[in-house]
Amino acid sequence: MSQEEKDREDRKKGVWFSIGYGIVLIGILFIPLLSYQYPPPEQEGVLVSYGMPEVGQGDDLPDTQQEVEVEPEPVAEAEVVEPQPEEVVPPEPDDNIVTSEVEEEIKIREQQEQKRQKEDAERKRLEELERQRKEAEAAERRRAEEEARKKQEEYEQTKRQFGEMLGGGRGDNQRAGNQGATDGDPDAQRLEGITSGSGMVGGGLGDRGVLFEPAIDDQSQRTGRVVVRVCVNAEGEVISAEYTQRGSTTNDGHLRQKAIESARRFKFSQGDVDRQCGTITIDFRLE
């Protein structure tokens, strides 16, 4: 359908709608004329005036009485009564509600007190464990230091004994000598088979100072280099030590065990980290 046909159709609808709307209005105007009143209204009567017979006879005397002026009674002003404010009576508290609130508050306080007591007990337990740990560490440190001191004393004593033995030779004229050789080694048989070692700290422990380095002595003739990987805690104590092939020149089990035991006895300066690892290289050589 084209736009023109659609407009023509809309105009037709508008015309028919206007005609119908006008017919409805005319019908509404004619409705009062179509109604009939039953019974019909009666005919209205005619009012006839016969006059007043007593008026106009002339017998009435003039009224000589003076009219008494009646003063109007004063109107009493209405007394304005100011409204009294109503007293607001607060509602009486319910004993049951008050009791319930008090019980709830007491219960909350008891729970808070129990929680505080548990926290205090846990804190004291942790403090006690920390104290015991520190005491155990201090005792272990003292034991290690005492053991190191004893070993050092034994080493010094052994060294002195060897020094005393080196002071006398085996010449053939009852005098100290070198068994007839100017470059000989006095008492060479006694020094035979003694191995000593020295440790060198490296890796990640280069910034940690060495407070104690144990003396490393062995009665075997085995030599070689053993690298031990160690980890140190914040107190400077060696907490782990294990052999590593990297950098080592020997796989001898005896030297490995000796190196690990010696590495565990090292004591380092305190640090800021709980675990710091590096290496200790021990060279075993004959003297």
Domain spans, the chain = 101-165, 192-286
Q: Give the tens place of pLDDT for each residue, 193-222.
A: 444 556 678 878 878 888 888 888 777 788
Q: Give the tens place of pLDDT for each residue, 46-88.
A: 666 665 655 555 555 555 555 556 566 665 565 666 666 666 6
What integer pLDDT is reported at residue 190 of this predicted model? 36
Give the residue, 118 or 89, on which the prediction is more confident: 118
What integer pLDDT is reported at residue 187 of this predicted model? 40
SS (H, E, C) the chain: CCHHHHHHHHHHHHHHHHHHHHHHHHHHHHHHHHCCCCCCCCCCCCCCCCCCCCCCCCCCCCCCCCCCCCCCCCCCCCCCCCCCCCCCCCCCCCHHHHHHHHHHHHHHHHHHHHHHHHHHHHHHHHHHHHHHHHHHHHHHHHHHHHHHHHHHHHHHHHHHHHHHHHCCCCCCCCCCCCCCCCCCCCCHHHHCCCEEEEEEEEHHHCCCCEEECCCEEECCCCCEEEEEEEEECCCCEEEEEEEECCCCCCCCHHHHHHHHHHHHCCEECCCCCCCEEEEEEEEEEEC
The confidence band for 173, taking pLDDT boundaries of 50, 70 and 90, is: very low
Q: Is the pLDDT of residue 282 over 50?
A: yes
What integer pLDDT is reported at residue 10 of this predicted model? 87
Identify the CATH assignment for 192-286 out of 3.30.2420, 3.40.50, 1.10.760, 1.10.3470: 3.30.2420
What integer pLDDT is reported at residue 63 of this predicted model? 54
The confidence band for 178, taking pLDDT boundaries of 50, 70 and 90, is: very low
Give the separation between CA 170 and CA 113, rounded to whole angstroms: 87
